[in-house]
Structure 1
Amino acid sequence: AINLTLCDTNGGKLVSEVNAIVGKVVAHFPATPVGVHCHNDSGLGVAVSLAGIESGAALVQGTMNGVGERNGNANLTTIIPNLILKMGKELNCADHLNKLRDLSLFVDEMANRASDNSAPFVGTSAFAHKGGVHADAAAKVKHSYEHIEPELVGNRTRVLVSDMSGRSSVMMKAKEIGVDLDARSPELKDFLAELKELEFRGYGYEAADASFKLLLNRFLKGKKDDFELIGYRVMVGHQSALKRTVSEATVQVKIGDEIHHTVAEASGPVGALDDALRKAIAPVFPEIMEVELIDFKVRILESQHGADAIIRVQIESTDGHEIWGTVGASDNIIEATWEALVDSVEYKILLESEKT
């Protein structure tokens, strides 16, 4: 045989059992390469796969991101870096390990799956730091909270800003997104108080780096908005004869001394509002037409208040080169959406201004 692969088809074996089984098979067939094919039904797909290698197996099978029937197959995005970085094994793909996160995201995109933010090595949260003391310690001694250098697998350190954040967390986050802050600045204390107040009102910046950077620029640098809202209106109507629901949005903004008044129609209110906003400001800021909304999340906070609960809207946007997140919060879902949309296009305008 070219190889002899042992399959834990129902995913029920424990690490000790796989160690013993693989060890016996390797000893009995010393001239034949032995492999393992494991499933994740017991939550041990990666662990038993690595145990098989430790016991003498030379081949390990799995799938990218653990995609597979039932609870999935052994996850190669976890197995591969463990084999290379922790176990010192030679793999043909070792030279491309820094592309592992990109490959993971690509597979999820092609499969139309939401990426697992908590995935080891490649997840967005794999090297994220939130609490003030935690983030401060990570900044001083990275390996105290990061078991490898994130860049080895194409990931990076992320600092999450929340009501747990202290001065050090904000300083680290500002540095991460390219904003220089003076730790001794009296404005920084006021900014921290403002940040906590905003989070109390429902805003969350853990997945909204763009909104956070805009907030920093407005609060600490006095940056003015690129356009001024005069007003907007959204209407939703059902056309029975055509059996469809249509939304219409009207947006009126002031850019410099000029007032731009536009109307747009779409199947839903978010699309209509987005189109109307773009039409209003594109004549002055044409770069915003490159922006595409790629994710839209709504979270109801304090649901015990029912229809009057605060709603947080998080939007993910891209211009084909960068991806950024923005946030809005209100007891009105349209207002929360408007805030997130405005931050999205404001951030694109900021990106363009930083190029010049």
Structure 2
Amino acid sequence: MDTSIQIFDTTLRDGTQGEKVAFSAEDKLRIAQQLDAFGIDYIEGGWPGSNPRDMEFFELASEATFNHAKIVAFGSTCRAGSAPEDDRNLNLLVEADTPAVAIFGKSWLLHVEKALQISAEENLGIIRDSIRFLKEHGKEVIYDAEHFFDGYKANPEYTLATIEAAASAGADTIALCDTNGGTLPHEVAEIVMDVQEKIDTPIGIHAHNDCELGVANAIVAVQNGCVHVQGTVNGYGERCGNTNLCSLIPNLQLKQDFRCIPDENMEQLTALSRFVSEVANLNPDIRQPYVGRSAFAHKGGIHVSAVMKNEETYEHIRPHAVGNQRRVLVSDLSGKSNINYKAEQLGLELDQYGEHAKEIVQKLKQLENKGYQFEAAEGSFELLVKKMTGDWEEFFTLEGFRIIVEKNVSGSCRTEASLRLKVNDQLEHCAAEGNGPVHALDKALRKALHKFYPEINDMHLNDYKVRVLNEKDGTGADVRVLIDSAEHGKSWGTVGVSHNIIDASWQALTDSFSYYLARQQKEVHQKEAI
């Protein structure tokens, strides 16, 4: 049995219809090249008749090299009363100069009569004529039967007649579309089986996720004979999105006897997901199956202990199979296993410190009870461990700081931080102005440290978050500050907690600098040892 499944990616077309998703023509080309390298069969680039950006993409794509994927232009069947050769949309599809085109037509009699306001027979003629026109121009044609499942449930005879018209006109593949995303898996299975008995043309599935069944519906469609699946990276798409290829592909290939991409490319899945998120300027969903940062994260001590003995106890696949990695979270649920695992990841040898692991567990639980959170603050966690085990020397100590915030009648605000630090037994007194208290403190701290540690110029703050911990206390509530810092692509998180937002920020800020300086010092020692 042939178990190969064609993967048709519509991230660059249907995906961009999702809220907050937008790509330039250059963005689209970069993503298309990554999809090609990953092993995607078809890449739908957009609708050349809808906007200049999509036409620009097809121009760029025509000059690029794709080793595996076919670029696809998208459009609709010709307008009622218009001959295909006179239809602007169909002619633009031809001019896009892609080897394949995807066109959609009406399958639901409700749309034919109410939206297009034409007869049922006229709609069948439009489908046949449009596909024949594109075939005459040498195109591979994927016909998207819009609203197929809703149409079938309302009038199966007519809906089947529409795809029979497409098949008779020479469509290479017919994709059955759950356009409203409301069909359930058992319905998909029954309808696909019926279609398989009546149509010889290869059948595909285009599902939406309005019932959170996009992946499930695609899977049952494949299990019942579909050989072509359309979807998007990260499930981007209109409303609730499309079938998520980042879940579908491993579900088909790693869990069942279907081949979607070359086996050796599966480890690129997580990188592809995050690349597309980055280009889209969207935060990755940490809880996304397979590729999310939390997909293989373990927090409960019992779970961690078991996973360390045998990964199959709490992981359905090896994280590395999809390019992800196991993470052990350190929290108030942690046991000794969590601490040992996290320390091992950070290159800390706790065994040499005997019972320190138990003390660290207790200290962590006390701190998290106060509001500290180390799941996203691994830099602060490493500093805590080193300080508790005696493996630490301070790079600087605070003598005191003062912050002045002035607001004048014009509405402008001025912030100045004055800082006294002891560095290498020398007292440094520096002041700096900033956009706000934390920015001013950051600038003053850099001034004080620069002549001793000039490498701090290479690190910068990536993100700054404040979380109120006990809202009922209003403006007097404790706050948690999380700071994410980075240097040359490496990032780390630090945390501070206090009823004073400036104090909490100072804790997280100084942990960030201390962690960076410790890491730099370690790298220098390693080089000297070589």
**Which bracket does the TM-score occupy, shorter chain normalised?**
over 0.9
Equivalent residue number for residue 299 of structure 2: 130
Q: Deviations over 1:199-243 (max 9, x none)?
A: 1221111111111011111111340221111122223333443x5
Change (3 A) 1:9 1:289: same
1:307 matched to 2:458 = no
1:264 & 1:208 partners in 2: Cα distance? 27
Counterparts in 2 of 1:88 and 1:183: CA distance versus 1, 3 Å? farther
Shift of 1:6: 1.1
Is 1:276 the counterpart of 2:444 in the alignment? yes
The count of aligned residue pairs is 354
Amino acid at match of 1:244: S
Larger mean Cα displacement after TM superposition, 80-89 or 199-208: 80-89
> How many Å separate the matches in 1 of 2:462 and 2:266?
27
Equivalent residues of 1:65, 1:77 under 8 A apart: yes
Shift of 1:249: 2.0
Distance 1:184 1:281, change over 3 A: closer
Residues 1:93 and 1:308: Cα distance change in structure 2 (over 3 Å): farther
Counterpart among 207, 210, 216 of residue 41 in structure 1: 210
CA distance in 2, matches of 1:79, 1:66: 10
What whole-Å deviation, never above 9, does each CA across 1:276-309 have from its counterpart, x for those lacking one?
Answer: 2222212222222222222222111122222222
Equivalent position of 2:195 in the other structure: 25
TM-score, with normalisation over the residues of structure 2? 0.64
Q: 8 Å contact 2:246–2:291 — kept in the other structure?
A: yes
Q: Which residue of 2 aligns with 1:332?
A: 500
SS in 1 for 2:254: helix
Q: Which amino acid aligns with 1:151?
A: H
Aligned 1:6-21 pairs, distance under 5 A = 6-21=176-191
1:263 aligns to 2:431 (yes or no): yes
Deviation at 1:353, TM superposition (A): 1.6
Q: TM-score, normalised by structure 1?
A: 0.94
Residue 185 (str. 1) matches residue 357 (str. 2)? no
Q: Distance in 1 between matches of 2:393 and 2:366?
A: 21
Q: Which residue of 2 aligns with 1:66?
A: 235
Contact 1:287 1:348 in 2 (8 A): no
Residue 83 (structure 1) aligned to one of 238, 252, 265: 252
After superposition, where does 1:52-201 map in structure 2 within 5 Å? 52-92=221-261, 94-182=263-351, 185-201=354-370
Q: Which residue identity does 1:328 align to in structure 2?
A: G
1:122 is displaced (CA, Å) by: 1.0
- Which residues of structure 1 form unaligned runs of 5+? none
Query: Could you say if the C-alpha distance between residues 53 and 221 of structure 1 is closer, same or farther in structure 2, counting changes exceeding 3 Å?
Result: farther
Kept after mapping to 2: 8 A contact 1:63/1:73: yes
Q: Verify the 8 A CA contact 1:167 1:183 in the aligned structure 2.
A: no
Out of 156, 166, 172, which is 1:2 matched to? 172
Deviations 1:81-121 (A, max 9, x none): 21221123222354322222222222222222222111111
SS, match of residue 86 in structure 1: coil
CA contact (8 A) 1:188 1:220 kept: no
Tell which structure's C-alpha radius of gyration is larger: 2
Q: Percent identity?
A: 45
**C-alpha contact (below 8 Å) 1:297/1:313 kept by paired residues:** yes
Q: Using the alignment, how far apart are the partners of 1:264 and 1:222 within structure 2?
A: 33
Which residue identity does 2:265 align to in structure 1? Answer: H
**What does residue 392 of structure 2 align with?**
223
Indicate conservation of the 8 Å contact 2:350/2:356, yes or no.
no
